[in-house]
């Protein structure tokens, strides 16, 4: 799939790049996308929920009244879960929600997400971007030139660039990441995938069996 390269002014440069079919032209697999997104969100779940049992709440340990002969139910101490302020029965305990997915499943899910973006014409390629210093206003102007100011955008860089990251972190609708850290959820969560020319070359030079997502 051929796509034109734009400059930071939003103008055509006269060049185009080929999006490799191994990444952007496969038949998407919705179930693998579901599994990958589920795993990503599950791993973000802190799992720190916790309630106190009857052994952990405050209260005396003396027995409230004798076991038999009262005509009522037998009772233990004031920390009994049946009393206000007592412990909880079968309450949540801290635990992890993450689960494992095979590498091939994650990769195919990632390629499926990329293919959906390509089919929807949701990919924009620009020249390699170099910023001498952090400048949020300048980057916002670039997005405006590309008609992406109001679009949720995932901007992928070939390598970590501190100036670009600092320029985009206060823009609510933009997420910036490096090529090798990209994942299925971020691709699907963005309306537009913004790539640099070098990132497209990295895709072309990457073995489809190599772990990217």
Q: What is the 3-state secondary structure (H, E, C) of 87-149?
A: CCCCCCCCCCCCCCCCHHHHHHHHHHHHHHHHHCCCEEEECCCCCCCCCHHHHHHHHHHCCCC
Q: Is residue 5 pLDDT above 50, yes or no?
A: yes
Angle of CA points 94, 98, 100, to nearest 5°: 145
Pairing of strands 12-18, 123-126: unpaired
Q: Report the distance separating Cα 213 and Cα 202, nearest Å.
A: 14
Same domain, 78 and 175: no
Mean residue pLDDT of the chain comes to 92
Which residues constitute the domain of residue 192? 2-46+97-205
Question: At 213, is the pLDDT very low, low, confident or very high (cuts 50, 70, 90)?
Answer: very low
Residues 34 and 111 in one domain: yes
CATH number of the domain bearing residue 130? 3.40.1370.10
Q: Indicate whether 18 and 42 sit together in one domain.
A: yes
Residues 10 and 75 in one domain: no
**Res 22 pLDDT > 70:** yes
Q: Kindly state whether residues 82 and 163 are assigned to the same domain.
A: no
Residue 213 lies in a domain: no
Percent of the chain scoring above 70 in pLDDT = 97
Inside any domain, residue 82: yes
Assess whether pLDDT exceeds 60 at residue 69. yes
Tell me whether residue 212 is in a domain.
Answer: no
Residue 188 backbone phi and psi in degrees, to 5: -70, -30
Residues 68 and 140 in one domain: no
> Is residue 211 one of the residues assigned to a domain?
no
User: In a 3-state reduction of DSSP, which class is residue 39?
Assistant: helix
Residues 109 and 19 in one domain: yes
What are 144's two structure tokens?
């405006």
Q: CB count, 10 Å around CB of 75?
A: 15
Confidence bin at 148 (pLDDT 50/70/90) = very high
Number of domains observed in the structure of the chain = 2
Question: Looking at residues 128-152, what average pLDDT do you find?
Answer: 92
Q: Are 74 and 108 in a shared domain?
A: no
pTM: 0.82
- 73 in any annotated domain: yes
For 100-125, write each residue's pLDDT tens digit. Answer: 999 999 999 999 999 999 999 999 99
pLDDT of 74-88, one tens digit each? Answer: 889 999 998 999 999
Predicted confidence band of residue 200 (pLDDT cuts 50, 70, 90): very high
Highest mean pLDDT among 17-21, 32-36, 61-65, 132-136: 32-36
What would the mean pLDDT of 184-213 be, rounded to a whole number? 85
- Confidence band of 211 (pLDDT split at 50, 70, 90): low
* CA 104 from centroid of its chain's CA atoms: 19
């Amino acid at each position: 799939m051929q796509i034109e390269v734009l400059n930071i002014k939003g103008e055509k440069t006269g060049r185009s790049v080929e999006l490799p079919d191994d990444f952007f032209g496969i038949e998407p697999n919705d179930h693998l996308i579901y599994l990958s997104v589920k795993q990503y969100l599950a791993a973000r779940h802190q799992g720190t929920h916790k309630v106190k049992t009857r052994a952990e709440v405050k209260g005396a340990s003396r027995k409230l009244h004798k076991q038999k002969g009262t005509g009522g139910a037998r009772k233990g101490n004031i920390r009994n879960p049946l009393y206000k302020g007592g412990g909880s029965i079968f309450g949540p305990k801290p635990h992890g929600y993450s689960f494992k997915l095979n590498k091939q499943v994650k990769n195919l899910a990632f390629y499926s997400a990329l293919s959906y973006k390509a089919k929807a014409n949701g990919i924009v390629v620009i020249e390699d971007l170099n910023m001498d210093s952090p400048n949020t206003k300048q980057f916002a102007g670039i997005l405006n030139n590309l008609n992406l100011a109001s679009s949720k955008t995932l901007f992928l860089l070939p390598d970590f660039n501190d100036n670009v990251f600092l320029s985009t972190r206060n823009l609510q609708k933009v997420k910036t990441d490096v090529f090798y850290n990209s994942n299925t959820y971020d691709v699907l969560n963005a309306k537009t995938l913004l790539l640099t020319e070098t990132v497209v070359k990295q895709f072309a030079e990457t073995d489809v069996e190599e772990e990217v997502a």
